[in-house]
C-alpha cells in the first residue's frame, strides 16, 4: 500500500530509514513522489558536437598517468590525459584524489564532466564504468545524504514502483487532465524517475509541475474559503489617541509612506471585512515599526497580536526592539521559539490562553498544536514566502479568523503575487527614511582582496562595524563551515588581535547565535563572519561594511537583502562583492549590483535572469518555493492551476462530488500532517 512505511521495502534498515526520513520520505507514497532535481545525459558525445560549458561524457584512452597536486590549505587537483580519436584532452578533478586509482595507462576511461571548448579541457565530475550497458545513459540526480546514495535510491524507487506504482490515485480530475493534456499519475511518476530521453523527462515534468501547483492552489483555495466563510471578519475598533501617543515617543518622524500604509492597514482592520494584506517595502524602509504600530492598534481594542518570523535570530531581535519600544505602555510582550525553555514555554502558553499576553513574537513555534490564544485579532507574518500555506492556515484557525498582514522586502509584480498567494490587497512603502546615505557597491576579484581589507580597516577606524558573508553551498554543510572558518581566521589574522572578530553559523545553538548577535548589536564585536544566517531583517545601524565572498553564488534578491543589512544609519556604507564569476550571467549580476540600489529594478532583473534557471538558492525571491515548479518560468502553469482550483471550489464548495473525493482526502491529510507540528 502507498501508505506503508518505506521500511516495508527490502533493504531499508534503521540507518537508511533515518536517512530517508531526513529527506522527508517515510512512506511509499513519499518515495514515489521524490523526484530528481536534474538529469545527467551520460551519452558519449564526439568532441566537435560539444558546446562550451556543456556537461558531457567523454570516452577515450588514458595516455598520461594521473597526477595529484595540492594547492591551498586542503585542496587537491587530479590531472589525467585521455585521447579521443586524434585529440588529447586534459581532465581535471578537484578534491577527489582517490579517483587516481581509477585510471590505468592504456585503459579505456569514460568521464562525465563540464567541457571547456576554448582550452579543450574537461572538469571531471564523475568516472563512469566503460561497459555500462545495463545503466541507462540518461539518469536522474536526486538530493541525497550520507545514508542514502543515488544508486541505492534509484533501486529503491524501482522496487516501490513495481509494487505500488499501479495504485497511485489520480489527483487531477479526468476532464481537466484531458483538457490540458496531462499525464496520469503513474505515467508522471514513471516519466520523472525513469525517462529514456530528455523529451520524456520534460513531458513528465510538465505534468508533475502542474500537479504540484494544482495541489498548492487547492490549499490556497481552502484557506480562502475558510476566511470568506466569516464573510464579515473582525472589526477592530482601535484607539487612535493611543496610537498617536505611541508614535510621539518614536525617536524619529515616520516617513510619508509609513504614515500612508499605517492608515491603510488601520482602516482595513477597523472595517468589518477580513483583512488579507501584503506590505511591501524595500530593505531598511521601516516595515518593523509599521508592524509594531498596527499590532498595538489591535491591543488597544483588546485583541492579541502575533508576529511570526522565519528565524530565531530575527525573533530575538524583534522581541528586544519591541520590548524597548513599548516600555511605559500597557503591553505585555512574550517571545516563543523552538529554544524557549520548557518552564517559560508553559507560562507563555498559559498567558496566551488567558489573554494576559498581548503580543507574541516567534517562529513557527507559534502554530504548534498546544498553543491556544485568548483573542487573537491580528497576525503579522514576516517574509511570508518562508512559510507554507498550511502554516498560515493553522495560525488563522487559532484566532477568531484574525486579520492577516504579510510583510516582504521583495517587490514582486502584483499578478505574480496574487497567483502565488491568493487574492490580497497590497500596501507599499516607497521611500526610505530621510538621512540615509546611498550604499557604495564595488565588485572585486579574489586576487584584489586587499582592497576589501583596506575598506574594512578604514571603516573600523571610523567606529563602524562589518559583516563578512560566505555562501551556503547546500550540497555540503561541512564545506560551508570550512569556508566560514577560513575567512574568520584570515580576517582575524589580517586585522590583528585588537579587533574583535566573531563567527556565526547555522549549526550553532540558538542561544550561542543570540549571544553573538547581541554582542555585535552592542558593538562589542566589530566584525561578524557569518554564513547567510543574517540575511533577513537583521538591523544593526552601526554596521557600515558588507563583505560578500563568492558573491556570484547568490541570487540578486539575496544579494540585495544582504546589502540591506548596512546603510541603515546615517554613515556612508560599503558593500564589497568578491567574485570570479564563471559565466556571463554571473558577470551581469555583479555588474548590476554595482549600478543600482533600487530593489524594484533588481527584482525585475532577477525575474528576467531566473528564467534561465541560473539563480543559486532563491529563498529570497519573495515567492513560495516549490520542489519542481518555478513560479516565474512556469507562470502559465501556475495561473492555469489557480483557475482550475478556484473553479472546483466554486462549483463544489464542500468537495462532495465523487471526482473531488481525492482532493478532499488530500486536503484533510495535509491538515493533519502539519497540524501536529509539536
Ligand atoms: N521614519 C524613520 N526615520 C528614521 N529611521 C527609521 C524610520 N523608520 C524606521 N527607521 C529605522 O530604520 C531601520 C530599518 O527599519 P526596519 O528594521 O523596520 O526595516 P525593514 O523595512 O524591516 O527592513 P528589512 O526588510 O531590511 O528588515 C531601523 O533601525 C529603524 O529604527
Give percent of the chain with pLDDT exceeding 70: 88
pLDDT score for 612: 39
Its sign, for the CA torsion 356, 360, 364, 367, is: positive
CA-proximal residue: ligand 1, atom 26 (nearest): 283
Expressed in angstroms and rounded, the spacing between residue 257 Cα and the centre of ligand 1 is 12
Q: Which of 566, 596, 626 represents a domain boundary (last residue)?
A: 596
Expressed in angstroms and rounded, the spacing between residue 296 Cα and the centre of ligand 1 is 17
Expressed in angstroms and rounded, the spacing between residue 518 Cα and the centre of ligand 1 is 18
Please check whether residues 520 and 550 belong to one and the same domain.
Answer: yes
Ligand 1 neighbour 285 (Cβ under 6 A): yes
Expressed in angstroms and rounded, the spacing between residue 122 Cα and the centre of ligand 1 is 49
Ligand 1 neighbour 252 (Cβ under 6 A): yes
pLDDT score for 348: 94
pLDDT in tens, 629-659: 877 778 888 889 988 998 998 889 889 998 8
668 within some domain? no
pLDDT score for 625: 67
159 within some domain? yes
**CATH number of the domain encompassing residue 260:** 3.40.50.300
Torsion of CA 359, 340, 484, 95, to 10 degrees: -120
Ligand 1 neighbour 284 (Cβ under 6 A): yes
Ligand 1 neighbour 441 (Cβ under 6 A): no
Tell me if ipTM is over 0.95: yes
Expressed in angstroms and rounded, the spacing between residue 278 Cα and the centre of ligand 1 is 17
Expressed in angstroms and rounded, the spacing between residue 479 Cα and the centre of ligand 1 is 34
Ligand 1 neighbour 561 (Cβ under 6 A): no
C-beta separation of 352 from 372 below 8 A: yes
pLDDT score for 250: 93
pLDDT-based confidence at residue 617 (cuts at 50, 70, 90): very low
Q: How far apart are alpha carbons 222 and 214 in whole angstroms?
A: 12
The total of other beta-carbon atoms located within 10 Å of residue 582's CB is 12
Expressed in angstroms and rounded, the spacing between residue 274 Cα and the centre of ligand 1 is 27
C-beta separation of 483 from 529 below 8 A: no
669 within some domain? no
Burial 515-540 (b: 16+ CB within 10 A, else e): ebbeebbeeebbbbbbbbbbbbbbbb
CA-proximal residue: ligand 1, atom 31 (nearest): 286
pLDDT in tens, 27-37: 999 999 999 98
Phi, psi for residue 108 in degrees, rounded to 5: -85, 140
CA-proximal residue: ligand 1, atom 16 (nearest): 286
Ligand 1 neighbour 539 (Cβ under 6 A): yes
More confident position, 468 or 369: 468
Mean pLDDT of 496-515: 85
379 within some domain? yes
Specify the DSSP element, H or E, that contains 584: helix 584-595
Ligand 1 neighbour 310 (Cβ under 6 A): no
Please check whether residues 247 and 312 belong to one and the same domain.
Answer: yes
The crossing angle, in degrees rounded to 10, of helices 185-193 and 150-164 is 160
Long-range CB contacts (< 8 A, 24+ apart) of 595-601? 597/438, 597/439, 597/441, 597/563, 598/282, 599/282, 599/283, 599/409, 599/410, 599/411, 599/560, 600/282, 600/411
* Position in ligand 1 atom list of the atom nearest CA 561: 26
Please choose from 539, 540, 544 the residue to mutate so as to test ligand 1's pocket, defined by most ligand atoms within 8 A of CB: 539
Ligand 1 neighbour 631 (Cβ under 6 A): no
The DSSP annotation for 71-119 comes to ETTTEEEEEEEEEETTEEEEEEEES-GGGGGG--TT-EEEEEEEEETTT
Please check whether residues 496 and 403 belong to one and the same domain.
Answer: no
180 within some domain? no
pLDDT in tens, 267-277: 988 888 788 88
Provide the domain count of the chain: 4
Phi, psi for residue 93 in degrees, rounded to 5: -110, 135
364 within some domain? yes
517 contacts: CB under 8 Å, gap ≥ 6: 313, 316, 317, 504, 538
Expressed in angstroms and rounded, the spacing between residue 539 Cα and the centre of ligand 1 is 8
630 within some domain? no
C-beta separation of 482 from 614 below 8 A: no
Please check whether residues 418 and 402 belong to one and the same domain.
Answer: yes
Domain range holding 312?
A: 240-429
Expressed in angstroms and rounded, the spacing between residue 248 Cα and the centre of ligand 1 is 16
Amino acid at each position: 500500500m502507498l501508505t506503508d512505511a518505506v521500511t516495508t521495502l527490502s533493504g531499508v534498515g534503521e540507518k537508511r530509514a533515518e536517512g530517508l526520513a531526513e529527506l522527508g520520505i517515510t512512506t511509499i507514497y513519499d518515495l514515489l513522489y521524490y523526484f530528481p532535481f536534474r538529469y545527467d545525459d551520460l551519452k558519449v558525445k564526439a568532441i566537435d558536437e560539444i558546446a562550451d560549458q556543456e556537461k558531457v561524457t567523454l570516452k577515450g584512452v588514458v595516455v598520461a598517468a594521473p597526477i595529484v597536486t595540492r594547492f591551498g590549505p586542503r585542496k587537491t587537483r587530479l590531472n589525467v590525459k585521455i585521447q579521443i580519436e586524434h585529440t588529447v584532452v586534459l581532465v581535471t578533478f578537484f578534491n577527489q584524489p582517490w579517483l587516481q586509482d581509477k585510471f590505468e595507462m592504456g585503459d579505456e576511461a569514460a568521464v562525465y564532466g563540464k567541457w571547456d571548448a576554448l582550452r579543450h579541457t574537461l572538469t571531471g565530475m564523475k568516472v563512469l564504468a566503460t561497459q555500462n550497458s545495463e545503466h541507462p545513459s540518461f539518469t536522474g540526480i536526486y538530493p541525497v545524504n550520507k545514508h542514502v546514495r543515488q544508486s541505492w535510491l534509484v533501486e529503491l524507487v524501482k522496487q516501490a514502483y513495481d509494487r505500488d506504482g499501479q495504485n497511485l490515485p489520480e489527483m487531477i480530475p479526468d476532464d481537466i487532465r484531458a483538457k490540458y493534456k496531462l499525464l496520469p499519475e503513474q505515467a508522471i511518476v514513471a516519466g520523472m524517475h525513469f525517462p529514456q530521453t530528455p523529451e520524456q523527462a520534460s513531458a513528465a515534468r510538465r505534468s508533475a509541475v502542474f500537479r504540484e501547483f494544482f495541489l498548492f492552489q487547492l490549499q490556497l483555495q481552502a484557506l480562502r474559503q475558510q476566511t470568506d466563510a466569516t464573510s464579515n471578519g473582525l472589526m477592530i475598533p482601535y484607539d487612535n489617541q493611543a496610537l498617536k501617543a505611541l508614535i510621539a515617543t518614536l525617536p524619529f518622524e515616520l516617513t510619508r509612506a509609513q504614515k500612508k500604509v499605517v492608515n491603510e492597514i488601520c482602516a482595513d482592520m477597523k472595517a468589518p471585512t477580513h483583512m488579507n494584506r501584503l506590505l511591501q517595502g524595500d530593505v531598511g524602509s521601516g516595515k518593523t515599526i509599521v508592524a509594531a504600530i498596527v499590532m498595538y492598534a489591535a491591543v488597544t481594542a483588546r485583541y492579541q497580536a502575533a508576529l511570526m518570523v522565519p528565524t530565531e535570530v530575527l525573533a530575538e531581535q524583534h522581541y528586544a526592539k519591541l520590548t524597548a519600544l513599548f516600555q511605559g505602555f500597557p503591553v505585555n510582550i512574550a517571545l516563543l521559539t523552538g529554544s524557549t525553555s520548557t518552564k517559560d514555554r508553559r507560562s507563555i502558553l498559559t498567558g496566551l490562553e488567558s489573554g494576559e499576553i498581548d503580543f507574541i513574537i516567534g517562529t513557527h513555534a507559534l502554530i504548534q498544536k498546544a498553543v491556544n490564544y485568548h483573542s487573537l485579532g491580528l497576525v503579522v507574518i514576516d517574509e511570508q514566502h518562508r512559510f507554507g500555506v498550511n502554516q498560515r492556515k493553522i495560525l488563522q484557525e487559532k484566532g477568531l479568523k484574525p486579520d492577516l498582514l504579510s510583510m516582504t522586502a521583495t517587490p514582486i509584480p502584483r499578478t505574480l503575487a496574487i497567483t502565488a498567494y491568493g487574492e490580497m490587497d497590497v500596501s507599499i512603502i516607497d521611500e526610505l527614511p530621510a538621512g540615509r546615505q546611498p550604499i557604495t557597491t564595488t565588485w572585486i576579484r579574489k586576487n584584489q582582496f586587499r582592497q576589501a581589507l583596506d575598506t574594512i580597516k578604514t571603516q573600523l577606524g571610523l567606529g563602524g562595524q562589518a559583516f563578512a558573508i560566505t555562501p551556503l553551498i547546500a550540497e555540503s554543510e561541512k564545506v560551508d563551515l570550512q569556508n566560514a572558518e577560513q575567512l574568520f581566521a584570515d580576517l582575524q589574522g589580517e586585522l590583528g588581535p585588537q579587533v574583535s572578530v566573531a563567527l556565526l553559523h547555522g549549526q550553532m545553538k540558538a542561544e550561542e547565535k543570540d549571544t553573538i548577535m547581541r554582542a555585535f548589536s552592542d558593538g562589542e564585536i566589530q566584525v561578524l563572519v557569518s554564513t547567510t544566517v543574517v540575511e533577513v531583517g537583521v538591523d544593526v545601524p552601526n554596521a557600515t561594511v558588507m563583505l560578500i565572498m563568492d558573491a556570484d553564488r547568490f541570487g540578486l534578491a539575496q544579494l540585495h537583502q544582504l546589502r540591506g543589512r548596512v546603510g541603515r544609519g546615517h554613515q556612508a556604507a560599503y558593500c564589497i562583492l568578491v567574485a570570479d564569476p564563471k559565466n556571463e550571467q554571473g558577470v551581469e549580476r555583479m555588474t548590476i549590483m554595482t549600478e543600482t540600489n533600487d530593489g524594484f529594478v533588481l527584482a525585475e532583473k532577477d525575474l528576467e535572469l531566473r528564467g534561465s534557471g541560473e539563480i543559486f538558492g532563491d529563498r529570497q525571491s519573495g515567492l513560495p518555493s516549490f520542489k519542481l515548479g518555478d513560479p516565474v518560468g512556469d507562470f502559465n502553469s501556475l495561473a492555469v492551476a489557480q483557475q482550475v482550483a478556484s473553479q472546483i471550489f466554486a462549483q463544489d464548495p464542500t468537495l462532495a462530488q465523487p471526482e473531488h473525493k481525492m482532493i478532499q482526502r488530500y486536503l484533510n491529510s495535509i491538515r493533519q500532517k502539519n497540524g501536529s507540528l509539536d
